[in-house]
Amino acid sequence: MHIDHDPQAPAGSTITFDAFLAVDIRIGRIVKAEPFPEARKPAFKLEIDFGDVIGIRKSSAQITENYAVADLPGRLVAAVVNFPPRQIGKMMSEVLTLGFPDAQGHVVLFSPDRDVPLGSRLF
């Protein structure tokens, strides 16, 4: 599947509200971040806490251009928590951490502008 990162690209095709609800996007807090030198593209390994119900999940994120690994713990992020795990290099990524491309095409993490409870679902 190809995703067009061009901000001038037209909106995607129409979907039903039920299709939107099928994608479970939750807020978590990064509890651990470390370099991921084995990744094909520059990335960090993240451990994200989604609260008591979902717990801590692992993710690989290509965010090295805009973030220092030391600055990531404690940051709230949004992630899709109901995709199947995916092998990324030597790690199994359990969630898809969400972001938007900046003007250079580098990922900017998607997070709320206020503190919200861990595990909160996007609606």
* CATH number for the domain harbouring residue 56: 2.40.50.140
List pLDDT tens digits, range 73-92: 999 999 999 999 999 988 99
Question: Does residue 69 surpass a pLDDT of 90?
Answer: yes
Asked whether residue 100 is domain-assigned, the answer is yes
H-helix or E-strand spanning residue 18: helix 17-22
- Rounded mean pLDDT of 25-29? 98
Asked whether residue 115 is domain-assigned, the answer is no
Question: Does residue 40 surpass a pLDDT of 80?
Answer: yes
For residue 113, the one-letter residue type is D
CB 58, CB 46: distance < 8 Å: yes
Question: Does residue 43 surpass a pLDDT of 80?
Answer: yes
Asked whether residue 105 is domain-assigned, the answer is yes
Asked whether residue 62 is domain-assigned, the answer is yes
Provide, rounded to the nearest whole percent, the portion of the chain with pLDDT above 90: 85
| pLDDT-based confidence at residue 10 (cuts at 50, 70, 90) | confident
The CA–CA distances, whole Å, from 112 to 23, 66, 87, 88, 117 equal 18, 18, 28, 27, 11
Which domain, by its residues, includes 60? Answer: 17-109
CB 85, CB 57: distance < 8 Å: no
